[in-house]
Amino acid sequence: MTAKIATITSGKGGVGKTTATANLGAALASHGLRVVCIDADIGLRNLDVVMGLENRIVYDFVDVVEGRCKLRQAMIRDKRLENLFLIPAAQTRDKTAVSPQDMIRLGEELRPEFDWVLIDSPAGIERGFRNAIAPADLVLIITNPEVSAVRDADRIIGLIEAEEKGPGRLILNRVKPEMVRRGDMLGVEDILDVLAIELIGIVPEDERVTVATNQGVPIALDPGSKAGQAFQNIARRLLGDDVPFESLESRDGFFGRISRLMRAGGEA
């Protein structure tokens, strides 16, 4: 096995990096692949909480880097998927405890044993972010349809390009089709216009994500959830499948289209 290393990052906080990491991990693992998720947000760890594995942590990532335990000892097996693992971040340290070289070394150590290594990047553009992208083969940039989040994503893409890791692929999270339709939210087109990178997934806003996250259950395993399906589709696209993009307009009837046409006409 030679794992692909994917880093999930955003620049802005709170757009869904950790949720996306946990769910993509679960989605990839549900295909029978061996997946390890690494929480690179040292000092502010929460991937373990989202994955519902907090109470099983004995060793963490910094313990591995500083040689207090073997890599294997820090890997926590998921409760549901036996081929999904988590390497948690240290909570009592900060980003300087790890260097980009440490990350690259860790990545190389994991590569032979897994199909996918997913790294949950911290917010920001400083050391933690640089650590997280250092070993990446590909970078997934996640953003929300908000001007501030898109601005930060743009900055991140610039930095990734400078590190020659780019251009990366875009996940658009928490899209509310209703608001986009009313013109109250940035549309997919508007965002791609600015960022000009390849889209790999659109995740609709879904209240069940909050519930699932609080319970430490991946929404990707809930076939009834639209967001869960979106994460499953992203996973399949990562695996090279050609999955058409979910229509955000499923309940968009005749009137919706007419009003959109009229609005477009009015703007011209």
Partner 1 sequence: MDTTIDIKGIRDGLLITLPPGRWDEVRQLLIDAVAQRADFFRGARVALQLADRELGAAELGSLRDELSGSDVTLWAVLSTADLTRAAAADLGLARELSPQAGRVAVEPPTQDSALPGEEAILIERTLRSGHSVRYPGHVIVLGDVNPGSEIIAGGHVIVWGRLRGVVHAGAEGDESAVVCALDLAPTQLRIAGHISVSPARKGKPKPEMALVREDQLIAEPWQAKRS
Q: How far is the CB of 161 from partner 1 (least distance, A)?
A: 8
Q: Which is nearer to partner 1, 101 or 247 (CB)?
A: 101
Q: Which is nearer to partner 1, 10 or 19 (CB)?
A: 10
Q: How far is the CB of 66 from partner 1 (least distance, A)?
A: 20
φ and ψ at residue 231, rounded to 5 degrees: -65, -40
Describe the strand order of the beta sheet including 169-175 as a list of residue ranges: 76-77, 84-87, 35-39, 116-120, 4-9, 138-143, 169-175, 198-204
Q: Which is nearer to partner 1, 69 or 196 (CB)?
A: 196
φ and ψ at residue 46, rounded to 5 degrees: -155, 0
Q: How far is the CB of 154 from partner 1 (least distance, A)?
A: 4
Tell me how far apart the alpha carbons of residues 189 and 196 are, in angstroms, rounded to a whole number: 10
Residue 116: name the closest of 147, 84, 151, 69 by CA: 84
Q: Which is nearer to partner 1, 29 or 139 (CB)?
A: 139
Start-to-end CA distance of the chain, whole Å, equals 54
Q: How far is the CB of 195 from partner 1 (least distance, A)?
A: 8
Q: Which residues bind partner 1 (CB under 8 A)?
A: 101, 125, 147, 151-152, 154-155, 157-159, 161, 193-194, 196, 267-268
Q: Which is nearer to partner 1, 87 or 141 (CB)?
A: 141
